[in-house]
Structure 1
Amino acid sequence: MIGNDIIDLQFALSESIVLQQRRLDKICTVAEQRYIRESENPWQTFWLIWTRKEACYKAFQRLHYIHSFCPHQIENQIDTSGMLLPLILFRNKKFFARTTMNQVKIDTVCASSQALLTDITTVSDLKEILQLTDFKKDNNGIPYLQARNIKQQFPVSKSSHGAYKAYALFKADIANLDATALIYA
């Protein structure tokens, strides 16, 4: 399904322990640790890996609810030349990630297929969308948007960190909401 994560890099500066070996062993696979150590900016690369794991976990949650986050079981795929691939494996399931990164934040979205990944968009504010929907969570705490005029739910993934917030949703769902608004206007 769909998941996302965002990291405010300025806010993350307070997390100085992220590169301690004990912490890396709990969170990262051996290949991910090597990728982090060999990168130009290990600290930022750690957060890149982290956002991909968190986004993958959220996408997995929608398909197979699990109560605990187990980042060591989420494996970012790295090719033989040392390039981070869009593919992530978690409990024998494939997920695909797309990350945007700049000097202030890292924003990752993840989906259970490449086709779904291309249909995901992120927004920092749901103000316009909330005119047509209500933001709700199911019994497991997984968020969704409930359309007001029709009995339809739309998956949404929410992430916030420091000064940044991001909602990931499907472009097709936004178009469907826009069409619904026209029908019931």
Structure 2
Amino acid sequence: MLGNDIVDLKFAKLHYNWRRKGYLNKIFSARELELINSSKSEDTMVWVLWSMKEAAYKCYNRLTSERLFNPQAFECALFSSCTNSASGVVIRNGQTFFTKTEISKNYIHTLAYSGTLVLDHLSVHHHKNNAEYSVAFTDSTNYSLQKDKNHLPEVINKKTQQKHMASISHDGGYLCIAFLKV
């Protein structure tokens, strides 16, 4: 299973007021709130944990077809965290999803995957978030985008017609397409 989430930090600062009273308690567990409160950058930690939950939700949804997103039901734990990256796990109903997060000055991007997925088999493509992203992706790769029978994203190799599970995430000015190459 594969999921990804991207947070445009400039857009988030303007449009998502996570500091309003009670907001964090609706999304994060007590242990996650400790991570936020003890972080050198609370803003960054909020969006790292949020993107971990969102990316894991996409994996979980693909696995179970459950469409209801309940952020508190996804429990995050960090293995490591530094200025430009983080890694951890998200657990939901006994399912464990590993996460790898890239932290830049402009965005936070998290990949979530099941334990059987090999990161070397992933392809990650960043694009501008606009209506033409599908055309830009198709023109710049050997793949095209479509939805599978469950309306979930997949890519098709233009030469072999082989289909691959994909995850698409967008926020503000950023869009990311991640998919399995094999």
CA contact (8 A) 1:3 1:157 kept: yes
TM-score of the two chains, using structure 2 as the length reference: 0.81
CA contact (8 A) 2:88 2:98 kept: yes
Question: Number of matched residues?
Answer: 169
Kindly tell me: are residues 52 and 38 of structure 1, through their superposed partners in 2, closer, same or farther at Cα, counting changes over 3 Å?
A: same
Residue aligning to 1:34: 34
SS of match in other structure, 2:154:
strand
| Structure 1 unmatched ranges of 5 or more | 174-185
Superposition pairs of residues 46-85 of structure 1, within 5 angstroms: 46-78=46-78
Deviation for aligned residue 1:10: 0.6
Q: 1 or 2, which has the higher helix percentage? A: 1
Deviation for aligned residue 1:85: 5.2
Say yes or no: does 1:146 pair with 2:148: no
Q: 1 or 2, which has the higher strand percentage? A: 2
Tell me which structure has the larger Cα radius of gyration.
1
| Structure 2 unmatched ranges of 5 or more | 128-136
Query: Match of 1:58, as an amino acid?
Result: K
TM-score of the two chains, using structure 1 as the length reference: 0.80
Deviation for aligned residue 1:52: 0.6
Residue aligning to 2:113: 111
Superposition pairs of residues 1-185 of structure 1, within 5 angstroms: 1-78=1-78, 86-113=88-115, 115-125=117-127, 126=137, 127-129=139-141, 132-148=142-158, 150=160, 152-170=162-180, 172-173=181-182
Cα-Cα RMSD: 2.4
Question: Alignment identity in percent?
Answer: 27
Query: Match of 1:142, as an amino acid?
Result: L
Kindly tell me: are residues 148 and 78 of structure 1, through their superposed partners in 2, closer, same or farther at Cα, counting changes over 3 Å?
A: closer
